[in-house]
Structure 1
Amino acid sequence: MDFITIKVTCDQALIDVLIAELFEVGFDSFQEFDDGFEGSCEQSQFDDGKVEALFSQYSNVAFTVKEQEKVNWNEEWEKNYDPIIVGDKCIVRASFHKPQPQFEYEIIVTPKMSFGTGHHATTYQVLDYQMTLDHKGKRVLDVGTGTGILAIMAEKRGASNIAATDIDDWCIENSEENFSLNDVKDVTLIKGQIAEVKDSDYDIVIANINKNVLMDQMNDYAERLVDKGHLILSGFYESDIEDLEKQANEIGLKKIHSTTRDKWAMLALEKRSI
């Protein structure tokens, strides 16, 4: 299937806002840069009029749109993908790399177009934190699973029941493949938004998305957590921690840990009955 990519040049302060607005008009995969970001969507979801109307509201923002054919991302990634070592216990590698059994956790991924291979600081920080958090026998929900890497780590850490969601067909396809590569069998994969998740008794909820989506959906995450359950958030900048923590406090979520890496942040919260 062909898809549309949009390259946006803008100030850092506008990136989260524009990503959230493009998400609302059909774009569902994003990659951020120092001077802006790129987004993509299936060609069938692209509405030129809505995109033009969106950007007409902003000055000093430039964008270009182009069509692209679906390419062999396995081949492209094989040329450029290097293993990632998280802490001293975990390695994330592609299937074409040699096994490295000296690591306690070895995660194999076929990256394709999905976000979340461990290279980005947000995914790295969540993986690092997961290795300190008790998953044994826990119920885990991974929202916006991407490659499925965080759900895979949850299974390796002993979670007994795992659900993973994503709105992107590429991510669903990629996570299914990665679950198979890592012999992960007991994951319920859901295509859709958080509203599609009907259960409400998860011990751990993970959401590595972006600030605007996290702010919009935080109450949904909290409603699906048991008391004393843990919410792990990432996909935002260090400067956003205060806003996220303030909203979290209002709905009974208290900060228990946070980390930063390359200006990106991870925030761990615990649900406490008000």
Structure 2
Amino acid sequence: MQFCRSGLLSQKSLKSIIKTLIEDGTLKYIYEFGRSYIDISYERPILISEHVYIKPENSSFHSHPGQTVIALKKGSSFGGGEHPTTRLCIHLIDVVLHSNRFSKQKDDYRGLDIGTGSGILALVAAKLGVKSITALDNDPCAIYEAKDNVCLNGMSEKIIVENLTVSELSGCYDLVMANLRYPTLIDLREVIDKKLKAESTLILSGLKPDEVQLILHHYKKSRFIAWNKVVENGWCAICLVRD
């Protein structure tokens, strides 16, 4: 209610604006952990990063040239775009794959999405040009929903969804994406290191600001350096590179 306190809007006017935004699908009420709040609605097409839109399965949306649209079925798996960590990861994938440093090589990239959830990160990377992606999860529900979303987006030839651990994979990868919490990212460092090519890119999300330096210190042991960092609502995502 800062606008009301500053005198820019009356409380009545602000409530009317919020009501209109909820009715037209721009905002919605969220109920979780015994509390309710208003947030952006992802039940309509919405721009997540410079080039990437996500939309519900049955929503009609005509994109412009240069835009990528990811359709998602409504499900219970993490990765619908509502959480900042998902949006931050998508933002970095978009930046990485459109930068001069990476854009010329991405057609030959092998990607790995650890903890794929809905499959959204793998889908973004695949639609932005990564040649092939392995998406991992140990939740049967996530496996089912990710496969559904891969099929929905016509990416079955580029994305394989597996119920495997990272250590069970064969071969090495150019791009690894992991939207997980700090302790898991720490535990995965050595096994990720073994699955990355000498010149590789790592996108990590699910971090709080005070955890970033600890992650950087830990991954420095694998010769990674920070290339980019983005922040939203108390969450961080980082892009690390190794030359």
Partner of residue 180, structure 1: 151
Aligned pair in 2 of structure 1 residues 218, 111: CA closer, same or farther (>3 Å)?
farther
Cα deviation 1:58-112 (Å, max 9, x = unaligned): xxxxxxxxxxxxxxxxxxxxx9834331134221011122223237110000131
Please give the root-mean-square deviation of Cα atoms over the aligned residues, in Å. 2.0
Cα deviation 1:117-162 (Å, max 9, x = unaligned): 1221111111111112233321101110111111111111111121
Q: 165, 174, 181: which is aligned to 1:193? A: 165
- Is this contact kept in 2: 1:222–1:271, CA < 8 A? no
Unaligned runs of 5+ in 1: 1-32, 36-78
Alignment of 1:93-104 (within 5 A): 93-102=55-64, 104=67
Alignment of 1:101-140 (within 5 A): 101-102=63-64, 104-133=67-96, 134=103, 135-140=106-111
Q: 231, 251, 255: which is aligned to 2:226? A: 255
Q: Distance in 2 between matches of 1:160 and 1:109?
A: 21
Q: Distance in 2 between matches of 1:236 and 1:115?
A: 16
Q: Distance in 1 between matches of 2:84 and 2:133?
A: 23
Alignment of 1:24-173 (within 5 A): 81-102=43-64, 104-133=67-96, 134=103, 135-173=106-144
- Is this contact kept in 2: 1:138–1:160, CA < 8 A? yes
Cα deviation 1:197-237 (Å, max 9, x = unaligned): 222x2110111111111110012112111112001100121
- Is this contact kept in 2: 1:155–1:162, CA < 8 A? yes
Aligned pair in 2 of structure 1 residues 257, 34: CA closer, same or farther (>3 Å)?
farther
Q: Name the aligned partner's letter for residue 168 of structure 2.
A: E
Q: Name the aligned partner's letter for residue 139 of structure 2.
A: D
SS of 2:95 mapped into structure 1: coil
Partner of residue 25, structure 2: none
- How high is the sequence identity, in percent, across the aligned residues? 24
- Is this contact kept in 2: 1:136–1:157, CA < 8 A? no
SS of 1:131 mapped into structure 2: helix
Q: Name the aligned partner's letter for residue 176 of structure 2.
A: V
State the TM-score, normalized to the length of structure 1: 0.67
- Is this contact kept in 1: 2:107–2:131, CA < 8 A? yes
Unaligned runs of 5+ in 2: 1-31, 35-40, 97-102
Aligned length: 196
Q: Distance in 2 between matches of 1:203 and 1:153?
A: 16
State the TM-score, normalized to the length of structure 2: 0.75
Q: Distance in 2 between matches of 1:242 and 1:123?
A: 20
Aligned pair in 2 of structure 1 residues 89, 80: CA closer, same or farther (>3 Å)?
closer
